[in-house]
Amino acid sequence: MMTDHPVTTTDRPPAEQTTGLTDRHAFRWTDITVYLGFVLVFGFFALTLHDKGFLSAQNATSIVSQVTPIALMAFGAVFVLTAGEIDLSIGSVVAMSALFTALGLRHFGLPAGIAFGLLTGVGAGLLNGLLIVGLRVPSFLITLGTMQLFSGIAQMSTQLQDVPIVNGTYTTLFGSGTVGPLSDAVVWLVIGFIVAQIAYRNLAFGWRVMATGSSGASARALGVNTRRVRISVMMISSCTAALAGMLYAGEVQGAVYTLGSSDLLTVLAGVVIGGTSLFGGQGSIPGALLGSILMAMIVNGLVLMGATVQQQIVVQGLIIVAAVAVSQRQPAE
Amino acid sequence: MTAHRTTSSRSILKQLRALALAGTLLAGKASMTQAADGMVGGEFALKGQVTSTVGPNGATGQPASVLSFTDDEVKKLQASHYSVALLFQTSSDWANAVTLGAQDELKALGIEVAGLSNSNYSASDQAHAVGTMLAKKPSGIVVWPVNPDELRPALQKAADAGVKLALISNMPSGFQQGKDYVGLVGDDLFAMGQKTAQGLAKAINEEGDIGFLYFDANAYVVNQRDAAFRTTIEKDFPKIKIAATQGFSDPARAFQIASAMILQNPKLKGIYAPWAEPAAGVLQAIRTAHRTDIAVGTMDLSNTVAVSLAQNGAVKALTVDDPYSIGKSLVAEIGYSLIGKAAPAYIQVPAIPVTKDSILDAYAQSYHAVPPPEVIQALGK
């Protein structure tokens, strides 16, 4: 599959064709990096670890549980990066939404718990977006600040204590239930993928996001409200992080302020390996999904191999460098 | 729940915290436990031999109960308008419990709080914090050192200025009690690991395969406890085999590691996790694999772990310490010194095995708190 979001010159209104986001149908190795990487890594582990459980259903369940929150955040990150922004605060939103959900469940029951979690995402994203647009400060700097702010709020909300979740309906809905042999997280993954792909690929919103990230001035000249787009992508990102936090809470059956703290780089690595540009203008939802699975699969395979922590870190680093060397390579000067 | 024992790893700013965590979680000179020389971090957890916890210069740990004041001594302290600063590595619920104990003792002795600082695992920030506190001319400082040796110049300056120092768990090597510091207060690390091992062994009828999930980073307290668990199993339970061993530095990986252990060792009857956060990942792995027959042994009081214990879930062995008493003892040590009374060199708080029946007591003793509603509900009370 090619990088799925260069805009064609035929399926958009004429005005949209002048943004320079055209004619990217030529085959590029960079577009298939993630698919190639996925096949290579999967093939390698399938061959070397077939007798160590790599291909078992139980292992697939483990990978799905691990991938789902990361992939959901990766879908959000595709929108953000395509719009030329970045969101460093997602890990803190994960913790905040998980804790607020757990507190909502504790004090007010299931509907409130779910609402608290989702509203956390909406609120955090709205704040990020308004600050970026209103203060005209780069998203990197704003979200660097809100990352700390949200983390602090998460820590203060329970005085650093973890909050157990004993609501069986909640945990069954969010990650602890099963669908066949797999965790029900896979349902969230599939729904998240379909919604993200349609919004990104088939709705005008997806094009506006790309136009904003490709050239804000051109997009504005074409009537795109880039401020609204930038606020929207920050909200999408935070909402996916909030959903990830709710899934973590359901899977772990509790929430603690450290949830999500190591997710940011994993998410970004999955997204850029999947072909989304760090400089805005183009991206790929399927690429982000495959990139996220690839990241989880690498860790999974290395753990099954019995690799030490240090070996895992080195191998992951090498694979990321190799993948981005292909997928993110810049034209020669 | 004890975040002072946690680490995290790869995220941009979190990485900074993680580096500090991995390197400094109660890190420093392994002066308190009999240990094999030259091994630190995960290597010590894997190969180190521990048989008991001893204090600096071989001092025997004394219980917190040895510290007491007569009415006259209290009146003397109350009349003197002393002040004490509290400097922590980080904020955590464990640190909160230490602070609570310290504040209660400060109040009882009529000593003011000169200031409270959390250096967020930064040794240099903590050194600056000592300097800042010195400007307030406190009578004493309680320190939970990030890196005792890096903190030495700042602490030495404080000691030379006549400020009474009481330290948690670790101190700069070569520091002399009575001259440089008043006293040291810490956990019985060996007993923490030993009692967890005994509890897990009992849960699996002292035979069968277990998984050993250890912290593969330089973290003095956790490394000692991991080694104590492993040593106890190897030494005292010959019919138990550690069939799967895997280190981690990011607790978020515990789920994947435990899943792999269960997948590759279907006969596993138990898994050890060093503290509550990785234990939560192990519990998730057990649920995901539908293996309700696997027992978990872990340490530190966490609400999620307590719920599992209360529900007769997978957690079968839990050992906690007593941070509240640590806080009280630190202040009492300083109080002793301020009135010219000889302070014990080393106060050691006990390791407390917790069962379903003793959860409420554990919360009361360790944290001076009542459990959250989920724990009460799980207990059926």
Q: Which residues on chain B are in Cβ contact (under 8 Å) with A309?
A: 42, 216-217, 247-249
Taking residue B205's Cβ as centre, other Cβ atoms within 10 Å add up to 10
Computed over every residue of chain A, the mean pLDDT equals 89
Among A225-239, B31-45, B237-251, B349-363, the minimum mean pLDDT is found in B31-45
The answer to whether residues B375 and A164 touch, using CB atoms and an 8 Å cutoff, is yes
Place of tokens 């460098």: A321
The answer to whether residues B273 and B301 touch, using CB atoms and an 8 Å cutoff, is no
Q: Is the pLDDT of residue B290 over 70?
A: yes
Predicted local distance difference test score (pLDDT) of residue B146: 82
- In terms of C-beta density within 10 A (0-12 exposed, 13-18 middle, 19 or more buried), how is residue A29 classed? exposed
Label residue A27 by pLDDT band (50, 70, 90): low
Highest mean predicted confidence (pLDDT) among A4-8, A304-308, B1-5: A304-308
Q: Closest Cα partner for A164 from B222, B280, B261, B106?
A: B280
Rounded Cα distance between B308 and B329, Å, is 31
Q: What is the arithmetic mean of pLDDT over B143-161?
A: 91
Rounded Cα distance between B233 and A298, Å, is 32
Q: What is the arithmetic mean of pLDDT over B26-36?
A: 39
Label residue A34 by pLDDT band (50, 70, 90): confident
Predicted local distance difference test score (pLDDT) of residue A25: 54
Predicted local distance difference test score (pLDDT) of residue B16: 35
Reading the block at residue B141, the tokens are 């400082």
Q: Is the pLDDT of residue B6 over 50?
A: no
Computed over every residue of chain B, the mean pLDDT equals 87
Q: Between B95 and B121, whose confidence is greater? A: B95
Q: B307 and chain A: CB distance < 8 Å anywhere? A: yes
In this prediction the pTM is: 0.85
Reading the block at residue A55, the tokens are 């291909």
Q: B226 and chain A: CB distance < 8 Å anywhere? A: no
> Cβ contact (<8 Å) for B374 and A160?
no
B142 & B222 share domain: no
Label residue A333 by pLDDT band (50, 70, 90): low
Residue B31 within a domain: no
B196 & B307 share domain: yes
B232 & B288 share domain: yes
Label residue A314 by pLDDT band (50, 70, 90): very high
Q: Which residues on chain B are in Cβ contact (under 8 Å) with A144?
A: 13
Q: Nearest residue of B to residue A88 by CA position?
A: B12
The number of residues making up chain A comes to: 333
Q: Is the pLDDT of residue A22 over 50?
A: no
Predicted local distance difference test score (pLDDT) of residue B54: 76
**What's the pLDDT tens digit per position in A149-181?**
999 999 999 988 899 999 999 999 998 888 887
Å between B250 CA and nearest CA of chain A: 8
B100 & B135 share domain: yes
Give which of B265, B284, B291, B301 to mutate to test A binding, by max A Cβ within 10 Å: B284
Q: What is the arithmetic mean of pLDDT over B219-224?
A: 83
Q: What is the arithmetic mean of pLDDT over A223-243?
A: 97
Residue B86 within a domain: yes
> Cβ contact (<8 Å) for A66 and B283?
no
% chain B with pLDDT above 70: 90
> Cβ contact (<8 Å) for A163 and B250?
no
Q: Is the pLDDT of residue B206 over 90?
A: yes
For chain B positions 167-186, those within 8 Å of chain A (CB to CB) are none
**Residue B358 DSSP code:** G
For chain B positions 263-282, those within 8 Å of chain A (CB to CB) are 263-264, 276-277, 280-281
Break chain A into its structural domains and give their ranges: 14-327
The answer to whether residues B337 and B68 touch, using CB atoms and an 8 Å cutoff, is no
B158 & B171 share domain: yes
Q: What is the arithmetic mean of pLDDT over A263-287?
A: 92
Reading the block at residue A256, the tokens are 């603690």
**Measured between CB atoms, which of B18, B252, B373 is closest to A106?**
B373
Rounded Cα distance between B297 and B307, Å, is 14
Q: Closest Cα partner for B330 from B92, B88, B137?
A: B88
Rounded Cα distance between A302 and A307, Å, is 5
So what CATH class is A14-327? mainly alpha
B124 & B247 share domain: no
> Cβ contact (<8 Å) for A162 and B12?
no
Q: What is the arithmetic mean of pLDDT over A118-133?
A: 98
Q: For B64-138, where are the alpha helices, taking DSSP H only?
A: 71-79, 93-109, 123-135
Angle formed at CA A206 by CA A204 and CA A209, multiple of 5 degrees: 110
Q: B156 and chain A: CB distance < 8 Å anywhere? A: no
Q: Between B29 and B366, whose confidence is greater? A: B366
Among A2-6, A267-271, B152-156, B161-165, the minimum mean pLDDT is found in A2-6
B159 & B279 share domain: no
Q: Closest Cα partner for A107 from A157, A40, A57?
A: A157
**What's the pLDDT tens digit per position in A60-88?**
988 999 999 999 999 999 999 999 999 99
> What is the span of the domain harbouring residue B314?
189-320+355-379
Label residue B44 by pLDDT band (50, 70, 90): confident
Q: What is the arithmetic mean of pLDDT over B299-310?
A: 94
Rounded Cα distance between A111 and A228, Å, is 29
Reading the block at residue B48, the tokens are 């180190």
Q: Closest Cα partner for B372 from A147, A102, A228, A235?
A: A102
Q: Closest Cα partner for A284 from A63, A125, A77, A87?
A: A77
For chain B positions 17-36, those within 8 Å of chain A (CB to CB) are 17-18
Q: Is the pLDDT of residue A331 over 80?
A: no
Interface size A-B, in CB pairs within 8 Å, comes to 148
Taking residue A222's Cβ as centre, other Cβ atoms within 10 Å add up to 16
Reading the block at residue A87, the tokens are 């969101």
**Number of structural domains found in chain B:** 2
Label residue A9 by pLDDT band (50, 70, 90): very low
B132 & B195 share domain: no
Domain of residue B235, CATH code: 3.40.50.2300
ipTM: 0.86
Q: Is the pLDDT of residue A89 over 80?
A: yes
Å between B279 CA and nearest CA of chain A: 10
Amino acid at B154: A
B196 & B248 share domain: yes
B229 & B123 share domain: no
B157 & B196 share domain: no
> Cβ contact (<8 Å) for A299 and B276?
no
**What HEC string does A174-207 produce?**
HHHCEECCEECHHHHHHHHHHHHHHHHHHCHHHH
Q: Between B303 and A22, whose confidence is greater? A: B303
Q: Is the pLDDT of residue A39 over 90?
A: yes
Rounded Cα distance between B155 and B158, Å, is 5
Predicted local distance difference test score (pLDDT) of residue A192: 97
Residue B221 within a domain: yes
Amino acid at B196: T
Q: Nearest residue of B to residue A90 by CA position?
A: B11
Q: Is the pLDDT of residue A6 over 70?
A: no
**What's the pLDDT tens digit per position in B236-275?**
999 999 999 999 988 889 999 999 999 999 999 999 999 9
Label residue B191 by pLDDT band (50, 70, 90): very high
Q: Closest Cα partner for B145 from B122, B115, B177?
A: B122
Predicted local distance difference test score (pLDDT) of residue B89: 83
Q: Which residues on chain A are in Cβ contact (under 8 Å) with B215?
A: none
Q: Is the pLDDT of residue B78 over 90?
A: yes
Q: B6 and chain A: CB distance < 8 Å anywhere? A: yes
Q: Nearest residue of A to residue B8 by CA position?
A: A262
B310 & B330 share domain: no
Predicted local distance difference test score (pLDDT) of residue A87: 97
- Cα A72 to chain center, whole Å? 5
For chain B positions 182-221, those within 8 Å of chain A (CB to CB) are 216-217
- Cα B374 to chain center, whole Å? 24
Q: Between B206 and B94, whose confidence is greater? A: B206
Q: What is the arithmetic mean of pLDDT over A267-289?
A: 92
Q: Which residues on chain B are in Cβ contact (under 8 Å) with A155?
A: 91
**What's the pLDDT tens digit per position in A100-116?**
999 999 999 999 999 99
Å between B379 CA and nearest CA of chain A: 12
Q: Is the pLDDT of residue A187 over 70?
A: yes
Which residues have CB under 8 Å from A203's CB, separation 6+? none
- Cα B199 to chain center, whole Å? 19
- Beta strand B83-88 with B140-143 is parallel
